[in-house]
Amino acid sequence: MSFNYSADKNMLLNKTILITGASDGIGKVCAKTFANYGATVVLLGRDQNKLEQVYDEIEKLQPGKVIIHPLDFKTAAINDFQTLAASLNEQFNSLDGLIHNAALLGARSPIEFYPDQDWSDLMQVNVNAVFRLTQVLLPALGKSSDARIIFTSSSVGRVGRAFWGAYAVSKFAIEGLMQTLAEEVENTTGIRVNSLNPGGTRTNMRRDAYPAENPETQPSAESIMPVYLYLMSPEARTIHGQALNVRGFKAQA
Ligand code: NDP
């Protein structure tokens, strides 16, 4: 049975949450959901036009609650991340949530023949950008009394699987980053850090990974939002340093 959570309509009021890969798939639905529960959402993505469409959808329902920041993680330099952080610092007192969701899938190929360019691109987008964004935003997250970082993982980031190459390795790296950071911030900040494996979800990435599959057999991004909302809720305050799964998710006392 899927996880049910009914959040107060204003649960995320006065919270600012940044979502990467907010132009499509899970990230887009996450941004809309958080805005719907009162959050101000900062949308990051590489495609300005797609981000503007999401902006318009949110702005129509929740005016004044959304800003966009186009950034291509494949080509972004360290100073692009610093510029983003400086711009957020000017606009907000603190940051209450960081959802690391953007990722590339890359080739499915044996390691022996894995394309070198895909390896570099995936490490850049799925790992290096996640590290850099986390690093520049930690001061703003540390100013919040109750901040959350969710790293997006995958089942192949927990147990390796043949032919998943750099994608699997990048998700293992994300788990390592999550664990390392969780221990560092546990006693000195109000930041709670976890990884979440959304499980098979009906998005472009899933379709690319399983082209022969009927997409309708997979849950929608909307259907997994109760877990994301719960992880941003006051009840989830004690969840920290954990590798979580949407499938079979249970509230923790
Ligand atoms: P999608 O491919 O639908 O969306 C990925 C998002 O990341 C898009 O917004 C995309 O932008 C963005 N993105 C890709 N490359 C870059 C880049 N270079 N710079 C900035 N943004 C970029 O994927 P999902 O929604 O399915 O996946 C979301 C997360 O969930 C990922 O971390 C994925 O690994 C994970 N996941 C997904 C599963 C699934 O079944 N869907 C299963 C397990 C894990 P654009 O719109 O321009 O393409």
Q: How far is the CA of 188 from the centre of ligand 1 (A)?
A: 32
Nearest ligand 1 atom, CA 167: 34
Domains and CATH numbers, the chain: 16-245 (3.40.50.720)
Q: Which atom of ligand 1 approaches the CA of 201 most closely?
A: 40
Q: Who lines ligand 1 at CB under 6 A?
A: 21, 23-27, 45-47, 50, 72-74, 101-104, 125, 152, 154, 197-201, 203-206
**Atom 34 in ligand 1: which residue has the minimum CA distance?**
103
CA 14 to ligand 1 center in whole angstroms: 27
Element (H, E) at 166: helix 165-185
Rounded-to-integer distance, Cα 127 and Cα 107, Å: 16
The CA 201 to ligand 1 mean position distance, Å, reads 11
Phi and psi at residue 67, to the nearest 5°: -130, 155
pLDDT in tens, the chain (253 residues): 789 999 999 999 999 999 999 999 999 999 999 999 999 999 999 999 999 999 999 999 999 999 999 999 999 999 999 999 999 999 999 999 999 999 999 999 999 999 999 999 999 999 999 999 999 999 999 999 999 999 999 999 999 999 999 999 999 999 999 999 999 999 999 999 999 999 999 999 999 999 999 999 999 999 999 999 999 999 999 999 999 999 999 998 7
pLDDT at site 79: 98
Pocket test for ligand 1, best of 24, 120, 171 (most atoms within 8 A of CB): 24
pLDDT reported for residue 124:
98
Which of 204, 240, 244 is CA-nearest to residue 226? Answer: 244
Asked whether the beta carbons of 130 and 177 are under 8 A apart, the reply is yes
DSSP annotation of 43 reads E
User: What residue owns the CA closest to ligand 1's atom 3?
Assistant: 25
- Going from the Cα of 187 to the center of ligand 1, the distance in angstroms, rounded, reads 32
Q: Candidates 32, 43, 72, 101: which one to mutate for ligand 1, based on the most atoms within 8 Å of Cβ? A: 101
124 Cα: distance to centroid of ligand 1 (angstroms): 14
Question: Any catalytic annotation for residue 167?
Answer: yes
Catalytic residue among 37, 167, 228, 230: 167
* Ligand 1 nearest atom to the CA of residue 73, by list position: 19
pLDDT the model gives residue 180: 98
Q: What is the pLDDT of residue 65?
A: 94
Measured in Å, residue 146 CA sits from the centre of ligand 1 at 26
> Could you tell me the strand order of the sheet in which 66-70 lies?
66-70, 40-45, 16-20, 97-100, 147-152, 191-197, 243-245
The Cα–Cα gap between 79 and 132 comes to 10
